[in-house]
Every structure is written in C-alpha cells, then in structure tokens.
Copies of this chain bind each other. A is one copy, B any other.
C-alpha cells in the first residue's frame, strides 16, 4: 500500500495507494474545517492538485453536519473524490483539556462515514509532561491503538506516537504502535513545539520516534503546516504534513513564506511568484481571507514539491541546511543533527548524482561525511612509508591539483600524501570516493570548519602510524 520510490537522508518519495487514488509523498494534507471550508475541497483538487486532504471526525461527529455526513458519506459531503484522512479529537483534548468521545466511538464513526484513513483517539502528551505522566500517556495510547486495530475493519488506521520529550518513551510507543495493523504512523504532540519554534526538541522527538517506527510505513507529522519545517521534517523521514495553518493564518491576516510568516497589511508587495501574488494587488490580498488562504496553500504545496524535487536530485541536505538560515532556532535544530549521526548514517546512500555543496560549518557533520571519517579510522590501512606529506585544501579533485607536486616528492622520498580537507583527511588514493572530489567548497572558510578539519585530521593522524608529518 505504501511503496518507497526514492530516498535521500531519511526522506523518501513514496506512493500510497488508497481507495480514492494514489498519493505521492511527501504530501501536504490541507485541513478542511467542516464548519467553515474557506477553499472548497473541489478547488483543492482542481486548482491546487491536492491528492489527499484532512478533516476532523470529532468535529463532524458532534456538529450540525453529523447526520448529513453519515447519510452522504464523507467524500460526497465534502465534494472531494481524492483520499481523505480524518483526525480524532486528540488535538482538541490538547486545546480543551478533554473530549467527550471514546476511542471506540470515534473509530466507529470514521468507519461509518467512509474515511480513507481513520485516526485513533490518542492521548496528547504535552511537552511539559514529566516522565511518569508521559509514560502513562504512552501506555494508554498503546492500549487504544490495540483497541483501534481490533475495531478498524477495512478502514486504514492511523496510529499515533506520543511520549512528550522523552526519547525512550517515544521510541517505545513508536515500536508498539507501528507493529500493529496501522497504515500510517503519526507523530503527535508536536504542535506546542512548532508554535514556540522549539525545533531542536522537534528533531529529538522525530528521531526518537523514527528509531521505533516500521520504516515501511508512511509517517505523518501531526499539525506541521508551516513550510519552514517541511525540509527538515522530511529529511528526518516524515512523509505527510497537515496544514490547518493556511486557513488559520489567513484568518489572522498573515501570509506564509518558505522562510517565515509575514502580516499582509504590512507588505506593499509580497515578493512571491504564486498566482495570487502575480494577479492581485497586495492591498486586495490583504483584505481577502480567501486570497490569503490561497496564497498560503500555494506556498505550502510548492514547498512540499520542492522537498520532493530535492529528494529526487539527492540534494535534500543542501535544502535543509540552506533553509535552516531562515531562523536561528532552525539552525540550532540543524546543529542538533550531528549528535544523531550514528542513526542518520544508516540511511545515507553511498553516493549521489551530483556534487556535495558546502553550505555552512554544519555541512562537515553530515552523516555521509561522518561515515567517510569513521571508515577511514576503521577500514583504511595507510601504506607504510617513512613520512606523511600533509597537503592543504585545494581545488578538487586533489589528485589532479597535486599531481605534479606529489610526483616530484615521490621521486625522492618515501612518503604518503594526504590532504587536510575541510571534510577530514583525504589520502590521495581515496580522492575519488564520493563526495571527496565531488564537493564544492568556498575559497575562504569559516573558523569552525577550519577547526573541525584540524580535529578530524589529528584524530586520524594519531592512529595512522606516521611520525607527525610535513
């Protein structure tokens, strides 16, 4: 039902087969408020190419539309022929403290209205929950996941991962939930982190969850609807994003951009090439909630498509590193990644099509470069020689840049040549291992990169068996 076609980092392009058509992931699920649909669902399909949307079963089940949606079925009620995922009320429990529906009731209701993906009623673990409380959230969530699995029938089930900021609880919950008959695993309880720009905590939560999740199942990051986070979350293996933000921000007069949020009334022009911004004056946009919502949707959809483009081209890491400069908190999240290299490295391809680009000092800590340095320590046997010639960073490939110089030295001396590169030591005979020769590095480097190069080099050189070189 979920087939992975291409990968980059933990990100993947996949296809979900549903009873209402195919969904290419990473996908954006625009959230339709059944009481107040700002963009008609048919438009979401026709004008925005949405293959899947999301609406709220809890709200539908209690609101004025309950009888019509039960009678017509969800797809006819919304006028949308693509796939639909329904949410359960867990988020409402975060907002209101509690909800007056049971897990079994909400599963039953979702089956009856014919949703494509029905969500269990999980327990929203607040980031503030201490270990004891988060553990209780997790146990109850697992219990309800099992119950939902037993009740789901033919409905594809969305199982939720909770556990607050406790990595071991997240991993346990993920492992238990994803082994059940769930079709989509959803990482929940992250909206408070998103709202307060706690992206470093978001990284920790996603990685802990991914460690427990079945890699064959698509992963939904519940409530992540801002383009700021799509590249990073996709890199860490999130496949589905739902955006209520496009409508909520529009109602508040705010516009989403790939690099942040701006108030429409404060702009004379948006600098955005979307059809709304191309065809309408800024004043007109600022006063029209539907136009604002459309702009926000264009931004979100194209940001998700940009992520797919980057996965297909093997430059998702570059996209993430560049976008991290949009806000200091995103940069802190990017810098968190190096602490998870042992896990991230497992998912890195051996080579990519194109070159690896230096984006910032964080680049040197990419899993693929971590792997290069580790394998150098573990698997590489330096040739015996009397001395080591240490060459500085230069034009790549180094073998070409240094060909004549090295040849001259070799004629007279028993030495081995290694470049002290920004990514770590590169023995010349390994120059063509990707991405050593296939890197684009600036002519002048930041101090952090230079220091890292020095540290990487010394770590290797100490064990390499040469009297310290030239």
Tell me the A47-73 residues at the B interface (CB within 8 Å).
Answer: 47
Shortest A99–chain B CB gap in Å is 35
For residues 307 through 353 of chain A, which have their beta carbon under 8 Å from a beta carbon of chain B? 307-310, 312-313, 321-322, 325-329, 331-332, 335
Given contacts A273-B299, A273-B302, A302-B273, contact A442 B329 (CB under 8 A): yes
A306 to B15, CA, bound (A): 35
Q: Which residues of B contact A298 (CB under 8 A)?
A: 273, 278
- A21: CB under 8 A from chain B? no
Given contacts A325-B359, A360-B360, contact A272 B442 (CB under 8 A): no
Number of copies: 2
Question: Complex: how many Å from CA A335 to CA B312?
Answer: 32
Which of A260-310 touch B at CB < 8 Å? Answer: 266-275, 277-279, 298-299, 301-303, 305-310
Q: With an 8 A cutoff between CB atoms, is A378 at the interface? A: no
Q: Which residues does A use to contact B, with CB under 8 Å?
A: 47, 200, 259, 266-275, 277-279, 298-299, 301-303, 305-310, 312-313, 321-322, 325-329, 331-332, 335, 357-361, 440-444, 446-448, 451
Whether B309 pairs with A268 at a CB distance below 8 angstroms is yes
A305–B277 CA distance with the chains assembled, in angstroms: 11
Q: Hey, which chain B residues are within 8 Å of A278, CB to CB?
A: 47, 274-275, 298, 302
B266 touches A313 (CB 8 A): yes
Residues of B within 8 Å of A269, CB to CB, are 305, 308-309
CB distance from A340 to the nearest CB of B (A): 15
Q: Is A360's CB under 8 angstroms from B306's CB?
A: no
Question: Which of B302, B308, B451 interacts with A277 by CB under 8 Å?
Answer: B302
CB atoms of B271 and A312 under 8 A apart: no
Chain B residues closer than 8 Å to A359, beta-carbon distance: 325
Listed by A's residue number, 6 A-B pairs whose Cβ atoms lie within 8 Å are A267-B309, A268-B309, A271-B308, A328-B357, A331-B442, A360-B360
With contact pairs A322-B325, A326-B322, A328-B358 given, residues A271 and B448 touching in the complex (Cβ less than 8 Å) = no
| Residues on the B chain within 8 Å of A440, using CB | 327-328
User: Does B447 contact A332, Cβ atoms closer than 8 Å?
Assistant: no
